[in-house]
Chain A
Amino acid sequence: MQRRVIFDGKILPYLLLLPQVVITLVFFFWPAGQAVYQSFMLQDAFGLRQTFVGLENYRIVLADPLYLASAGRTVIFSAAVTVLAMASALALAVMADRQIRGAAAYKTLLIWPYAVAPAVAAVLWLFVFHPAIGIVGRGLRDLGLAWDYKLNGVQAMGLVILAASWKQVSYNFLFFLAGLQAIQKPVIEAAAIDGAGPARRFWSIVFPLLSPTTFFLLVVNLVYAFFGTFGVIHALTAGGPGKSTETLIYKLWVDGVINLDLGGSSAQSVILLVVVMALTGIQFRFIERRVHYG
């Protein structure tokens, strides 16, 4: 039998929801609406002249080989960031969950990177890995490696993936740790008594029980990789060298703000929005049924 709590007030719930709804309307729906509107327009830089051009911006964007290349790059980038951030966080959470000395210190320190602003994190990574002024950067060059992410596209991509994942590891770590601590110890002990080794215990018992958390983090991480990584890329490589780190979110910023092509940029925004919505929808539809809710 479920106990439900019922409130009497009719207006209070709506009043309590109002601030969040207003914020969502002003900061999400209004700009999104403007993006949709502007994606159907051709404008000059100052907005003095605009003409309705229908779906032309979309056609141009989708037929642009540079856009498709950027989309491919984004897929690789997002997959790498998500996998790296989640796997590292899971490993760290499992290790931090044990009874070891300084566990509290590890847990605290592992959470700090989340408080660092993306652009600041990127600058920190820049100061470490810059080929001329970075500690590790100079070290790599002294070792004889041709480290120059300002000129080598693959190295640049690797570096932004690392910097973007680093930021997200803390967030994932927090949730994984909470998820691990919610698993009842008797279940694991029973498995140990039955003779299951640590790896078997993890994959057969802990991981499935962790699946709600994993599913949630998968959705959040993918959204982060698609949208939240702008600051890291902008401060580290600005999409370069030669476009090798220009993901979709970065490209649409460059096209809108630097190249002043608001129609094309808005079209890209709308396409990205639809893609991520579809991706999230697919995750809920197909992956959630494999999630084991305890």
Chain B
Amino acid sequence: MMLTALALVVALAAAVSPSRAQSRTQIEFWYGLGQPLGGLIEKIVADFNASQTQYQVNPSFKGSYPETMVGAIAAFRAGTAPHIVQMFEVGTATMMSARGAVKPVHELMKETGVAFDPNVYVPAVKGYYSLPDGRMVAMPFNSSTTIMFYNKDAFKKAGLDPAKPPQTWPDLVAAAKKIKAANAAPCAFTTAWPTWAQFEQFSAIHDVPLATKANGMAGLDAELKINSPLHVKHVQNLIDMQKEGTFKYGGRDAAGDALFPSGECAMIHASSGLRARIMREAKFEWAPAMLPYWPGTPNAPKNSIIGGAAFWVMTSPTRKPEEYKGVAEFFRFISQPDVVAKWHTDTGFLPVTAAGYEKVKASGFYQQNPGTDLPYLQLTRTQPSENSRGLRLGNMPEIRNIIQEELEKAFQGQQTAQQALDNAVQRGNVVLRNFERANRS
């Protein structure tokens, strides 16, 4: 009787004693990608956790990129910031200026002694997340670029050649008209991330500035330049298409994504990362294509710029050195060519290291899956100029919302393209000046 009781107590004690997992250093990781990409990130984290026994990374989905950014900042103010946060590219300026809240990657790797070579990264990616002197502040992971996806079945129905997507804007307008005339799809053309696709990428591809000071990379005193004649012409074209019924405004940020896989719109400008969702949901034949450009613009078409997100390390009053070591080990894990290559082939995101790209190329993946190397080719198409290296503008999420608001008013017929862009420039510059003032010290 006593022996049974004793055995029971011992068994109970063993059951409630700290499990093996809890003796690992816990690292909190917040990410902002929905399914199916979020699931793929969690798989990578699970692989890392399984590959060693010292650290445990706990991933949690915190909403969209803007929501994750706000959540991380609020958590920092409360002293409970996560160790790693996935922050989208337009939050870069805000994160870079947050000295004290953010631990730059170069500093992290040096302190923890984990081997790190920034030159393994593709120049467009490295340049976006580095200080002027080349030291990296964030860990690139899911860099994307904007490309076009088009519905080959709808093209066939409209009498267009499905192997020849439109390469210039006039061609796109003509194709959209044909699709509408043949009723090949309820809507001919839409865009996701209107500001990223139709302003930031647009400016890079046409080699025109989005803002002064090399799009903000060269100084906090940048000013917006999105009301140039070319931008006005482009927005006016979209307004005209919308009035004609060939363009449908899909909404802000990622809202437009849903319109392509469902078959509603025949052409879309979206993140290359939308590929995973299209593969899963589209019930029609489709293909990717490069973004169109306006012929006659000097230097066009240039390389596009990256989007997507990177991983930032946040500080907290309760951080311990072994937690930072865990973060560094996780970063080393995700920059291995295998992981980079698999993430790229599973999704539409780019291979962020040259080694990753070479590995995928050598495996014959690009021959078996035509079009999957298109984002990478568009990104590396030319040597970047000052206008196509990327952008670094403070409070960019707010500026994007301003541009989206002015666009919405223009689409409702309440103002012309010129007025919309002039307003956007004026309001956006106020935001930039406020950011400059709050971060000058």
The interface of chain A, by Cβ under 8 A from chain B, is 42-49, 132, 150-153, 238, 240-243, 254, 257-261
A49 to B438, CA, bound (A): 8
Is B73 interfacial (CB 8 A cutoff)?
Answer: yes
Q: Which residue of B lies closest to A256 (CB)?
A: B70
For B408, what are the chain A residues with a Cβ–Cβ distance below 8 Å? 151, 240-242
For B406, what are the chain A residues with a Cβ–Cβ distance below 8 Å? 242
Q: Pick from A48, A152, A238, A257 the residue with the most CB of B within 10 Å.
A: A48
Select which of B99, B100, B412 is within 8 A of A152 by beta carbon.
Answer: B412
Q: How far, in Å, is B280 (CB) from chain A's closest CB?
A: 19
Is the contact region of chain B dominated by helix, strand, or loop, or is it mixed?
A: helix
Contact yes or no, B101 A46, CB < 8 A: yes
Is B437 interfacial (CB 8 A cutoff)?
Answer: yes
Encoded as 1 (CB less than 8 Å from any A CB) or 0, chain B from 46 to 68 comes to: 00000000000000000000100
Select which of B97, B101, B405 is within 8 A of A240 by beta carbon.
Answer: B405
Contact yes or no, B98 A261, CB < 8 A: no
Select which of A42, A44, A254 is within 8 A of B97 by beta carbon.
Answer: A44
For B251, what are the chain A residues with a Cβ–Cβ distance below 8 Å? 150
For B249, what are the chain A residues with a Cβ–Cβ distance below 8 Å? 151
For A257, what are the chain B residues with a Cβ–Cβ distance below 8 Å? 70, 74
A30 to B375, CA, bound (A): 51
A45 to B264, CA, bound (A): 39
Encoded as 1 (CB less than 8 Å from any A CB) or 0, chain B from 391 to 430 comes to: 0000101100100011011011010000000000000000
Encoded as 1 (CB less than 8 Å from any A CB) or 0, chain B from 216 to 258 comes to: 0000000000000000000000000000000001011000000
Contact yes or no, B98 A258, CB < 8 A: no
Contact yes or no, B101 A259, CB < 8 A: no
A150 to B438, CA, bound (A): 34
3 closest Cβ pairs, A-B complex: A242-B408, A242-B409, A259-B398
Contact yes or no, A42 B438, CB < 8 A: yes
Contact yes or no, A261 B434, CB < 8 A: yes
Q: Quick one: given A257-B70, A260-B395, are A153 and B438 in contact (CB under 8 Å)?
A: no
Q: Quick one: given A47-B77, A151-B412, are A258 and B401 in contact (CB under 8 Å)?
A: yes
* Number of inter-chain CB pairs below 8 Å: 67
Contact yes or no, A44 B412, CB < 8 A: no
Contact yes or no, A242 B77, CB < 8 A: no
Contact yes or no, A258 B94, CB < 8 A: no
For B409, what are the chain A residues with a Cβ–Cβ distance below 8 Å? 242
Q: Which residue of A lies closest to B399 (CB)?
A: A259
For B414, what are the chain A residues with a Cβ–Cβ distance below 8 Å? 242
For A261, what are the chain B residues with a Cβ–Cβ distance below 8 Å? 434
Contact yes or no, A46 B395, CB < 8 A: no
Is B441 interfacial (CB 8 A cutoff)?
Answer: yes
For A241, what are the chain B residues with a Cβ–Cβ distance below 8 Å? 408, 412
For B77, what are the chain A residues with a Cβ–Cβ distance below 8 Å? 46-47
A103 to B101, CA, bound (A): 61
For A45, what are the chain B residues with a Cβ–Cβ distance below 8 Å? 73, 94, 98, 395, 438
For B398, what are the chain A residues with a Cβ–Cβ distance below 8 Å? 258-260
A266 to B437, CA, bound (A): 18
Q: How far, in Å, is A54 (CB) from chain B's closest CB?
A: 15
For B299, what are the chain A residues with a Cβ–Cβ distance below 8 Å? none
Is B76 interfacial (CB 8 A cutoff)?
Answer: yes
Q: Which residue of A lies closest to B91 (CB)?
A: A45
Q: Which residue of B lies closest to A255 (CB)?
A: B398
Select which of A48, A151, A153, A238 is within 8 A of B99 by beta carbon.
Answer: A48
Is B382 interfacial (CB 8 A cutoff)?
Answer: no
Contact yes or no, A42 B76, CB < 8 A: no
For B431, what are the chain A residues with a Cβ–Cβ distance below 8 Å? 259
Contact yes or no, A258 B73, CB < 8 A: no
Contact yes or no, B411 A258, CB < 8 A: no
Q: How far, in Å, is B233 (CB) from chain A's closest CB?
A: 22
Contact yes or no, A151 B411, CB < 8 A: yes
